[in-house]
Amino acid sequence: MAAPTARRREKLRQATLAEIHQAARELLTDQGPAAVTINAVARRIGMSGPALYHYFASHDDLVAAVTAGFLRELTTAMRTARDARPADAAGDRLLATCRAMRHWATAHPAEFGWIFASPIPAAASARHRPDTPRNQAARDFELVFLQQIEELWARRGFPVPALEDLDPSIREQLRAYAESLGRDLPIEALHVALSCWIKLYGLLCMEVLNQLDFVYSDPGPIYEETLRDLVDTLGLDYRPPEPSELPPHAPPS
């Protein structure tokens, strides 16, 4: 009897955690990040504030858990798009990954902003606590892109700068980053990969946070230009997006 009882309790716990996550998401999208408090989430699911502390020890823990959930959702969308392409089509897989990231981000701007631009201090401090679910979810997200670059480098390589041409500070920072991830991509190749990522991710953040509205009502073609430059830098072929890869509101490029 002990094992079935434990399974039922765990099933109920997981169901409650799913309710909590959904309630937090609704508060976020309806009222903004500041509305996501322990008491507000508890009220939305018909629970008392103190009862919610059985699931999360603090508001910081709640924020970190919600962040991890959004990251896992985004990562799954990117992996699914990647894996829908043939294993030997490196360019198509990378393009599909990056387009899926934009598709999810523009469809979920509040969630994307919560992950990457939240004003809540706990969201930032959680990044520096190793081995937390939020930290692991963040690593899984960044590796969706980086692992494809590693595979490309192992198969065929791509143009990189000479190591001695990189600023010493950049070299040391990249070495520390590579060690923290446990990756063996050469520093020069990692520099190229991160330069591509910064351009792409930076553009997406500006779009989702409405920092391009003063000039672009549709940043989609700019994103595609950046993707074209990215695959060209890596020695891959560019493929225009299919309708299913575009956000619902975006006209074909």
Q: What is the CA radius of gyration of the chain?
A: 20
| pLDDT value at residue 11 | 86
Report CA-CA distances (Å) from 78 to 96, 102, 104: 8, 9, 9
pLDDT in tens, 162-209: 999 999 999 999 999 998 888 889 999 999 999 999 999 999 999 999
Distance, CA of 40 to CA of 55 (rounded, Å): 15
pLDDT greater than 80 at residue 4: no
Total count of residues recorded for the chain: 253
The pTM assigned to this predicted structure is 0.89
Which of the four pLDDT bands, split at 50, 70 and 90, describes residue 250? low
| Residue 253, C-beta contacts closer than 8 angstroms, at least 6 positions apart | 220, 221, 224, 240, 241, 246
Read out DSSP for 130-169? TT-HHHHHHHHHHHHHHHHHHHHHHHT------GGGS-HH
Write the DSSP symbol of residue 122: H
Closest alpha carbon to 115 in 104, 125, 123: 123
Residue 132's pLDDT band, with cuts at 50, 70 and 90, is confident
pLDDT in tens, 17-32: 999 999 999 999 999 9
The predicted-structure confidence for 136-160, as pLDDT tens digits, reads as follows 999 999 999 999 999 999 999 999 9
Residue 84 pLDDT more than 90? Answer: yes
Q: How far lies 152's CA from each of 86, 119, 205, in Å?
A: 14, 37, 26
Decide if pLDDT at 116 tops 90. no
